[in-house]
Amino acid sequence: MKCWLGSVLEDPSLPHGAPPHSARVRARLRFRRLTNNTLLAFWRTVEDAKSFAARPEHRQATRDLYEHRWQYSHFAAMWEIATNHNRVIFCPACRAVTSASEQRSKACGTEFLV
């Protein structure tokens, strides 16, 4: 999983927009505090993130930003995970520890909600 972080400080007197959601995004979190708006998105691959950035809708949103200045500032960056112990599920039925990628408890067969 890859991470993209965007942080903007919006001018409340201007209209604002956001790039459309992509099915390739694993999670998208937005934090707002007063005029500060931070978006954190987790992508399956770096290629997915770059593909999203290259989409006509995103390119247009970026052009609109520079033309209409609907943000006070803008920041974007990408990081890749250096290490990952993988997600595990603690089965509520049998208490076994199983990799989430297996989708069922290795001990009792209970299906996981992931």
CB atoms near residue 65 (< 10 Å): 15
pLDDT tens series, the chain, 114 aa: 444 444 443 334 434 444 444 455 667 777 777 767 788 888 888 888 899 889 999 899 889 989 998 877 888 888 888 888 888 999 999 999 999 889 899 999 999 986
Q: Please state, as a whole number, how many other Cβ atoms lie within 10 Å of the Cβ of residue 39.
A: 17
Q: What structural domains does the chain harbor?
A: 2-80 (3.30.70.100), 86-114 (no CATH)
Please give the pLDDT value at position 107: 95
Check: pTM over 0.85? Answer yes or no.
Answer: no
Written as six digits, the tokens of 73 are 């500032």
Distance CA 50, CA 72 (A): 24
**Beta-carbon contacts of residue 70 (< 8 Å; ≥ 6 apart):** 10, 11, 14, 15, 16, 17, 64
